Structure 1
Amino acid sequence: MELKTKEFLGAQRIALRAQRLYPKLDNISQLLTICEVHCAAEAKVNGNMDWYDILQVEPRVDETVIRKEYSKLARLLHPGQNTLPGAQSAFKLVSEAQAILCDRVISI
């Protein structure tokens, strides 16, 4: 499977197709979230990570929105709850994005 080889874009396409065919498929939302976070991390802006895209928020949102989205993603990706390949690294990306964006909001 693509997740084991870190082909998240391919895995995302397959997961979306599977979701359309079998909407009640177990863990599909977790799998798609893993793929979305990793795809966002790979799609750099000017050579830099787009932390807003990784956290799935619009640029320049306030800290409340950042924390709310982080909480939602953290529940889906936490390694204690999600044992799918790529979940732990996606959780780390989301955690880093939240820390960086909250720091930016506070310093603005």
Structure 2
Amino acid sequence: MAFPTLFTLLSIFCALVAVVAAGSDYYKTLDVDRRANDATIKKAYKKLSKKYHPDKNTTPEAKDKFVEISRAYEVLSDSEKRAIYDRHGEDGLKQHEAGKNAPDPFSMFSNFFGGGHQEQSRKGPTMLTEFEVSLADMYSGNHVGFRIKKRILCDHCRGS
């Protein structure tokens, strides 16, 4: 009789270890299907973030839950991060993010030996201009075109 009970406990323990080792499941965090589209993910995030926002929910675990929800949305709403997460899990995503922020080992030498400023482009003075945009265009995010007159030097005569 003790053997089935021990076996059951051991299998439950192994399942818990597997869940902890796998890291967070962002799809479960947002309570969405793995095939969910961007609109579904955004809707789930808004619903849960309102529920667990620390300003609205004063329970001790609300802040941690809100951070977890925000992280899940950050990953699942970005197509590149989501693809990496789907393929490699949370650990793969952490490695990818660490690699993006890694400094270029050759930049120190190029800066030291004078090659570091080649990538910078020369910028002219800041130009300011005024133009009218309707409030409706601003709210709807419409693009408004305009022209600026700018004096430039002719390469042939150099302005003489």
Coarse TM-score class (shorter-chain normalised): 0.5 to 0.7
Q: Which runs of 5 or more structure 1 residues have no equivalent in the other structure?
A: 1-42
Q: How far apart, CA to CA, are the structure 1 residues paired with 2:82 and 2:65?
A: 26
Does 1:93 pair with 2:59? no
Does 1:59 pair with 2:34? yes
Q: How far apart, CA to CA, are the structure 2 residues paired with 1:77 and 1:94?
A: 9
Residue correspondence of structure 1 range 1-108 to structure 2 within 5 A = 44=19, 47-104=22-79
Q: How far apart, CA to CA, are the structure 2 residues paired with 1:77 and 1:52?
A: 17
Q: How far apart, CA to CA, are the structure 2 residues paired with 1:106 and 1:100?
A: 5
How far off its partner does 1:44 sit?
Answer: 3.2
Q: Which runs of 5 or more structure 2 residues have no equivalent in the other structure?
A: 1-17, 84-160
Identity %: 35
Larger radius of gyration: 2
How far off its partner does 1:85 sit?
Answer: 1.3
How far off its partner does 1:48 sit?
Answer: 2.9
8 Å contact 2:76–2:82 — kept in the other structure? no
Over residues 20-79 of structure 1, what are the superposed CA-to-partner deviations in whole Å (9 max), with x where a residue is unaligned?
xxxxxxxxxxxxxxxxxxxxxxx8386132100011111120010000000000110000
TM normalised by structure 1 equals 0.54
TM normalised by structure 2 equals 0.37
* Greater helix fraction, Structure 1 or Structure 2: 1
> Could you say what the CA RMSD is over the residues aligned between the two structures, in angstroms?
2.6
8 Å contact 1:62–1:105 — kept in the other structure? no
Equivalent position amino acid for 2:51 in 1: L
Q: In the comparison of the two structures, how many residue pairs are matched? A: 67
Runs of 4+, deviation exceeding 4 Å:
105-108
SS of 1:92's equivalent?
A: helix
Q: Give the number of the structure with larger relative contact order, counting CA–CA contacts within 8 Å between residues 6 or more apart.
A: 1
